[in-house]
Amino acid sequence: MLTTIAVIGGVAYGLYKIFGDSDTPYTPPRSSAPVFPSRQRTRFPQQTQTPKPLYTPQKARFGVPSAEKQGTRKFFPNIATPIERDNRLRVFPVVNPEGEVHNVDTSAADSIFYGPVWTRILDAYEKGDFIRGRAVLRRISSSEDRFSGYSVSIDGVEAFLPASRAAHFYHPEFDATRKCVALKVKNVYPNGPRQGTVIVDAYAPLKYILANQKKADYRFDATPFALAMDYDSENLLFPLFGDRLMRAPLREAMSIAARKGIDPSPDMLTGYFWQVRITDADSDSPMAEALDILA
């Protein structure tokens, strides 16, 4: 009986200590587990400016620079052949018309591509540079009895200039035979029955030099660059768009070439970029004087 009373009393005292009128609030026992703050979604302020990209591609610029930037060689492609820029005979990957890649080794003595001339041709083909050649034969199609193009010699290597890519010399009244021509190598056949055949383009250099030229570039006393493609008894001829020709006195051009150590014969003055000064801004046939030859 006494034991039962003692148990009841102990329980009652414990309840009193917990829920009684004590001034000390109840504190649960401290747990060993860490207590984390409640997770709240963080709101970031709205961006008022679009972030700048890490890289902004720039539009490529081709053609002839403006009048303020003209006068420097770096704007012009390598056209100063037959002076060879790279003497290393090496291997060139060349794609044939079927889309197959063939390695052409200009250092292999038993290859038709052997030698420094082929190195220069394939290097120009690989880089898209211009190269000078000399028209040796005006070809007539035997089946259609019409002009089909020119056989061109690039320091002894024969290439073919189709009539459709002959530019100024497409017209029957102009003949490129024996004249030097600025060319772009369009195709090289590395294998097959046409192995060693080179197809060139004379329109690409002319388009390059005229791409960004404007009418203001041919105003009086302007000094544009132009491509010499032909000559007559008195003048060096520079084709312009619209079947127009700009003329510069041949004698002055020959003197400039001679001073720079270039063969001054008229046949050798063509196929070069020249800087000229406009002396008569006639809209149909401007006159100019030669200032410099870029060679």
Asked if 222 contacts 278 with a C-beta cutoff of 8 angstroms, the reply is yes
Predicted model pTM:
0.69
R_g over Cα of the chain = 40
- The band of 11, judged by pLDDT with boundaries at 50, 70 and 90, is low
Which neighbouring-strand residues pair with 294?
A: 273
**Confidence label for 43 from pLDDT (cuts 50, 70 and 90):** very low
Choosing among 2.40.30.170, 2.120.10.30, 2.40.50.140, 1.10.260.40, the CATH entry for 73-204 is 2.40.50.140
Q: Is the confidence at residue 282, as pLDDT, over 70?
A: yes
- Compute the average pLDDT of residues 19-32: 48
Is the model's pLDDT at 293 over the cut of 90?
A: yes
Q: What is the pLDDT of residue 270?
A: 96
Is the pLDDT at 275 greater than 50? The verdict is yes
The yes-or-no verdict on residue 48 having pLDDT over 60 is no
Residue 215: per-residue pLDDT: 66
- Please provide the DSSP assignment of 216-261 as one string: GGGSTT---EEE--EE-SSEEEEEETTTEEEEEEHHHHHHHHHHTT
pLDDT at site 66: 36
pLDDT for the residue numbered 32? 43
- 81 confidence band (pLDDT: 50, 70, 90): very low
Query: Mean pLDDT, to the nearest integer, of 43-55?
Result: 40
For the domain made up of 213-294, give the CATH fold: OB fold (Dihydrolipoamide Acetyltransferase, E2P) (2.40.50)
Which residues of the chain does CATH 2.40.50.140 include? 73-204, 213-294
pLDDT-wise least confident of 5-9, 42-46, 68-72, 170-174? 68-72
Q: pLDDT, tens digit, for every residue of 228-246?
A: 999 999 999 999 877 789 9
Considering Cα of 202, then 61, then 120, then 290, what sign does the dihedral take?
positive
- The chain-wide mean pLDDT, for the chain, equals 77
For 158-207, what is each residue's pLDDT tens digit? 999 999 999 999 887 889 999 999 999 999 999 999 999 999 999 999 99
Identify the pLDDT of residue 241: 77
Rounded to whole angstroms, the Cα distance separating 109 from 113 reads 8
Q: How many CB atoms lie within 10 A of CB 272?
A: 22
